[in-house]
């Protein structure tokens, strides 16, 4: 028998580590221990199983050619032994043994190891809210969770569903619930949806889209209790009461660190502490996946990043190092993407809020626009926000959302952020161009150019939130809307301080504008607004009073009159 490696956890990181080390070094003896009945499954596909895009939950356990990744598959193809329904109870680091218990019959055994991998994953957060143990309240983490929830959706006593938490899982489950005929309410403690991914000004267009699909959002509200006899009947929040026949708890996950803590390994609130090689404080024990603390590439600080993609990378690196290689994990940008009721949403790096909380001085660009040239059939709008360091121009984060294409852009941004690239590097990136796919100047490059113009002093801008604050304070300023009369018929701002002058007439009519007030220039996406601002400066207006509305009327998430 060769060197023995025991792997605890059989979903993503664990199987990847087990198979990788066995592939590189066939002489090792690898044993995979899993508490549940399934291994190596795609939990991220569960919302699509609920919706019906995945017809059988077992499809989430198969290879691309339909072979089920079960115990026999791992033994015959991967050379890895698997113990299912087996819980790791404790680790004796001196004896190098893992005590395990069969969850069905309670029998116990000890497994010796030369190296150990901890991939115990995470668990859904279930806070001690009164009534949380009532029937009809579900989480979504495992295949069994998915099967139970789908059955509950089919057999619920009524058609009122409440999603608690507006993070990724909660938002991805809106579509299956709506398609199943439920009236859906979302309760989110923070003021807007996807609060870990987006800034508020980016979340507002998404929220309006979600509400247009019939979902009731209760943001800035928290759950006080769940009420009912044996089965949940209503959700009592801090502000209201919502009828509920089914509740999905989707308020996040916590790393499963107890096994590591009890063994005396270094842990923290964001998981088991590991070095760049994914080694724990014990050099013979590695850890990866949702149970470990990751490293934020932008801030250089610990971060909790429970993503299937990250877990698989951890597993590969662990497998490499167990085989004697020297592989390291550099960290994450916090990249994520999802589709919410036809709206694509993507983010990488820091939000503006994150960056400011880190004490960074930032510049931002709001750049709505079509995802391909306007003359191409199928061109769709996307909102893009870029955050960059004011002093160096380093790209810190990008958020993109809308019905248009977002994936390639967020992936490009993630690569630039990982390389510590600047807005100049973004501009110089040789992105592919053809009209069926993108504009000649990709949306990402446009945002980088806007920030560079701000750094060069060519643009002074207000975000929509800043302008809204000016309105609420009663500041004396004017909006200069330079769109065409036809555009005004379609959409306009409902304020008395709006002046309409088409861009081609701005030079001629500049004398009609006040020179003792702030002038906030705008158009549809503020490209012409920028031109108007430059014209006014050339006409001798005080540049300290000339501003651009970032993103124009399209990015204005507040009151506007629409006659489309």
User: Strands 160-164, 461-462: parallel, antiparallel or unpaired by DSSP?
Assistant: unpaired
Catalytic pick from 44, 139, 291, 521?
44
Residue appearing with tokens 């220039």:
521
Contact between 323 and 25 (Cβ < 8 Å): yes
User: Strands 246-249, 253-255: parallel, antiparallel or unpaired by DSSP?
Assistant: unpaired
Strands (E), 130-288: 137-138, 160-164, 183-188, 216-219, 223-228, 232-237, 241-243, 246-249, 253-255, 267-268, 271-272, 285-287
Q: What DSSP string runs through 177-209? A: HHHTT-EEEEEESSSSSSTTT--HHHHHHHHHH
| Separation CA 266–CA 273 (nearest Å) | 6
* Structure tokens that stand for 187 in this block: 């309760």
The DSSP bridge partners found for residue 24 are: none
The DSSP bridge partners found for residue 90 are: 99
Residue 44 is among the residues annotated as catalytic for this protein: yes
* Structure tokens that stand for 493 in this block: 């701002």
| Separation CA 516–CA 259 (nearest Å) | 67
Contact between 124 and 146 (Cβ < 8 Å): no
Which residues, including other chains, have CB under 8 Å from residue 351's CB and lie 6 or more apart? 197, 198, 199, 387, 397, 399
3-state secondary structure 85-131: CEEEEEEECCCCEEEEEECCCCCEEEEECCEEEECCCEEECCCCCCC
- How would you class 330 by CB atoms within 10 Å of its CB: exposed for 0-12, middle for 13-18, buried for 19 or more? exposed
SS3 content of the chain, % helix, strand, coil (to 5): 30, 30, 40
Residue appearing with tokens 């993507």:
346
| Separation CA 341–CA 410 (nearest Å) | 19
| Separation CA 182–CA 169 (nearest Å) | 17
Q: Which residues are catalytic?
A: 44
């Amino acid at each position: 028998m060769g060197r023995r490696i025991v792997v605890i956890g059989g979903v993503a990181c664990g199987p990847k580590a087990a198979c990788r080390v066995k592939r590189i070094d066939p002489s090792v003896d690898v044993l995979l221990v899993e508490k549940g009945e399934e291994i190596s499954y795609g939990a991220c596909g569960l919302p699509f199983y609920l919706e019906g895009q995945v017809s059988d939950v077992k499809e989430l356990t198969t290879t691309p050619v339909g072979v089920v990744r079960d115990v026999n598959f791992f033994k015959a193809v991967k050379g890895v032994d698997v113990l299912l329904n087996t819980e790791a109870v404790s680790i004796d680091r001196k004896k190098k043994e893992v005590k395990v218990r069969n969850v069905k019959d309670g029998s116990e055994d000890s497994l010796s190891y030369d190296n150990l991998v901890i991939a115990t994953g995470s668990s859904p957060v279930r806070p001690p809210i009164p009534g949380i143990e009532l029937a009809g309240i579900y989480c979504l983490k495992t295949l069994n969770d998915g099967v139970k929830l789908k059955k509950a959706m089919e057999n619920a006593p009524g058609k009122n569903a409440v999603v608690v938490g507006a993070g990724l899982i909660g938002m991805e489950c809106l579509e299956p619930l709506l398609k199943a005929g439920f009236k859906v309410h979302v309760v989110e403690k923070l003021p807007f949806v996807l609060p870990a991914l987006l800034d508020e000004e980016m979340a507002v267009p998404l929220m309006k889209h979600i509400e247009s699909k019939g979902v009731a959002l209760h943001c800035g509200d928290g759950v006080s209790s769940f009420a009912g006899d044996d089965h949940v009947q209503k959700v009592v929040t801090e502000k209201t009461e919502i009828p509920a026949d089914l509740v999905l708890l989707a308020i996040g996950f916590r790393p499963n660190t107890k096994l590591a803590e009890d063994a005396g390994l270094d842990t923290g609130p964001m998981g088991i502490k590991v070095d760049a090689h994914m080694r724990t404080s014990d050099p013979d024990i590695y850890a990866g996946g949702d149970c470990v603390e990751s490293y934020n590439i932008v801030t250089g600080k610990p971060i909790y990043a429970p993503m299937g993609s990250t877990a698989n990378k951890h597993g590969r690196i662990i497998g490499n190092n167990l085989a004697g290689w020297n592989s390291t994990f550099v960290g994450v940008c916090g990249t994520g993407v999802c589709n919410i009721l036809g709206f694509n949403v993507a983010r990488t790096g820091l939000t503006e809020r994150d960056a400011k909380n880190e004490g960074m001085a930032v510049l931002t660009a709001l750049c709505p626009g079509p995802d391909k040239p306007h003359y191409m059939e199928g061109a769709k709008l996307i909102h893009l926000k870029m955050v960059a360091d004011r002093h160096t121009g380093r790209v810190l984060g990008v958020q993109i959302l809308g019905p248009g294409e977002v994936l390639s852009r967020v992936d490009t941004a993630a690569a630039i952020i990982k390389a510590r690239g600047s807005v100049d590097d973004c501009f110089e990136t040789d992105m592919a161009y053809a009209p069926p796919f993108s504009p000649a100047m990709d949306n990402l490059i446009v945002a980088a150019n806007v920030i560079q113009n701000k750094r060069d002093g060519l643009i002074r801008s207000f975000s929509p939130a800043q302008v809204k604050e000016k309105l609420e304070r009663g500041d004396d300023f004017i909006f200069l809307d330079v769109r065409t009369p036809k555009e005004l018929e379609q959409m306009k701002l409902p304020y008395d301080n709006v002046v309409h002058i088409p861009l081609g007439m701005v030079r001629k009519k500049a004398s009609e504008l006040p020179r003792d007030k702030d002038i906030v220039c705008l158009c549809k996406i503020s490209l012409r607004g920028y031109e108007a601002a430059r014209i006014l400066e050339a006409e001798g207006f005080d540049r300290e009073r000339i501003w651009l509305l970032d993103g124009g009327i399209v990015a204005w998430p507040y009151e506007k009159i629409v006659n489309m």
